[in-house]
Amino acid sequence: MEEIIKYILEQVQNLLAIDSPTGYTTNVTDYLMTEYKRLGYTPQKTVKGGVLTDLGGKETDNAVLLEAHVDTLGAMVSQIKSNGHLAVSPLGGMNANNAEAENCRIITRFNGIYEGTCQLTDASIHVNGKYDETSRSFDVMEILLDEKVSSREDVLALGIMEGDIVAFEPRSRITKSGYIKSRFLDDKLSASILLGYAKYLKENQITPERKIYQHLTVYEEVGHGGAASVPQGVTELLAVDMGCVGEGLNCHEHQVSICAKDSGGPYSYDLVSQLIAVAKKENLDFAVDVYPHYGSDAEAGLKAGYDVRHGLIGPGVYASHGYERSHVEGVKNTFLLLKGYLG
């Protein structure tokens, strides 16, 4: 068990080190293809760009598809200003308040990567008398390039253009007390848990009773990651994503969260009940919650028309879509819930 958890923590650090804002995910999925093959599986890339892997299993007409996503929040260059600063448009739910003063990378299509910082326009407090009262939005934010530029022409000469990807620094670390802190734990932490479960099955030569697939999706942050590539015979979509932590909810970072309902409506009553029963049987530290502002890959599959049951679990993650925090105990409880439910 400890070796699996160690592997999961190694994988989350590896995944977090690979920039993968929605729409720019080839590098991270190439890594996943290599890792699944190293574990002894035969993954395939979907046309859409996700990674689909058959983990084996006996009952092929009642299969379960585990889903996590490796696309993250980010931004795209929307305008090169006359002074050489960059206006950006967010990718996914990136919030300007959380992006302010963050280091970032501007990934050009043909001319390499440049560094910069996301700042409020006119960001000097000693100069801007309206600094405190300015409501942060991407309309008043910009990227300052760490290059000697003072005009649009200077920026274009570097090979930067509108449509280039902006990736924010994740600032990942794991503390001695077991806290996992980083941007984009949503959902690279749960993607790593799925890799850990795949490793567990292979190393212990376990053939599950039900066929199990894993799909690591790449467009979840814009709502359609799980809307395709559900294999024939799948009757259940189980999204493994971040568990919400905040006021009015029960979950904390040390727990596995079981979602009963989110913005898209209730999850499968039977599946949620089964997950709760397993969590109780295994004496796991868990919470059941209703998420007020949330959507998942499992819901995307239902909206796409698949006739399946759907569920959502994940380790508790605080400060979602900001500088997020979870804990190794939440990872353990999530892994053990998967293990107890699927075998």
- Catalytic positions are 220
Which residue carries 């092929």 as its tokens? 60
Provide the total of helices (H) and of strands (E) in the chain, helices listed first.
8, 19
C-beta separation of 84 from 151 below 8 A: yes
Q: 282: exposed, middle or buried (C-beta count within 10 Å: 0-12, 13-18, 19+)?
A: middle
How far are the Cα atoms of 51, 144, 257, 279 from residue 29, in angstroms, in the given order?
A: 7, 29, 26, 31
Residue 285, both tokens: 């530290």
Residue 252, both tokens: 């904390």
Which residue carries 């942060």 as its tokens? 136
Which residue carries 């996943």 as its tokens? 32
**CA-only gyration radius of the chain, Å:** 21
